Amino acid sequence: MKERRLIMGTPVTVEIINADLPAFHPVFDYFSAVDERFSTYKATSEVSQINRGALPHSAYSPEMQEVLRLAGETKQATGGYFDVYTPEGALDPSGIVKGWAVNNAAKLIRAQGHVDFWVDAGGDIQTGGKNVEGKEWSAGIRSPFNENEVVKIVYPRGHGVATSGTYIRGEHIWNPHTRKSVATEIVSLTVIGPDVYEADRFATAAFAMGNEGIRFIESLPGFEGYAIDKHGTATMTGGFSSYTDIPGARVSL
């Protein structure tokens, strides 16, 4: 069974093999709760309260404390190329929350005893097991120049997939070292990691590195990447091809 809803300003798709509708309720309830807490657009969210100075640090929720802790770890691991604070000083955890939420949603599905599933929130993807045909799940990397064109198909095999870029939302990623929008020839960077949380956080940081980002991903054990520049030229890490070209698998877009 498959269901899609618009949450966190993006389509969220959940497919659970051999599951009834009740299995989906806690997953979508969770995504809605994440949106209510971490939205930068909703005046009532915890993030908005923090940015207004209406919530002291001592009153931060456990979820907020966890995300900020993980953000700090990511900032250190990326040499400062990941930061949840905008150049203006406002808190914006969007670069880590989506992947973190998808990963937690996958845990909720597994906790119900389901092993075959697909969770996708705006291109941040976590899979488990096999699809309805008993084959490997697959995901298409869309062209940054034509959203209806798939330039590469990957088979995560239980790993996480995340893509960062400026071709949909514009220049929303900045270099924390210069506090300016990223000026780079890279327009799309897809990362495959141990899980979607790991893939998402490093995809954001690597994109902020510009042309050096794909080399950073190459240096991370257990990670692979696929970058596309403004000319349409792709550069991939040495092991990326291990996630491509599995005959007979169904493509999910």
* Contact indicator for 234, 228 with CB cutoff of 8 Å: yes
* Contact indicator for 189, 203 with CB cutoff of 8 Å: yes
How high is the pLDDT of residue 185? 79
| DSSP character at residue 202 | H
- C-alpha torsion sign, points 86, 100, 211, 11: negative
Report, in this order, helix, strand and coil percent for the chain, each rounded to 5: 35, 25, 40
3-class secondary structure for 231-246? CCCEEECCCHHHHECC
How high is the pLDDT of residue 169? 47
Q: List the chain pLDDT tens, one digit each, 253 residues.
A: 999 999 999 999 999 999 999 999 999 999 999 999 999 999 999 999 999 999 999 999 999 999 999 999 999 999 999 999 998 899 999 999 999 999 999 999 999 999 999 999 999 999 999 999 999 999 999 999 998 899 999 999 999 999 998 655 444 565 665 555 555 679 999 999 999 999 999 999 999 998 899 999 999 999 999 999 999 999 999 999 999 965 544 444 4
Residue bearing tokens 């490997």: 136
Topology of the domain comprising 2-243: T-fold (3.10.520)
Q: Domain limits of the chain?
A: 2-243
How high is the pLDDT of residue 253? 43
Give 79's contacts (C-beta < 8 A, 6+ positions apart): none
Tokens of 59: 């009153």
Residue bearing tokens 């051999």: 18
Candidates 129, 231, 247, 125; CA nearest to 184 is: 231
How high is the pLDDT of residue 114? 98
Candidates 66, 62, 83; CA nearest to 74 is: 83
| DSSP character at residue 30 | H
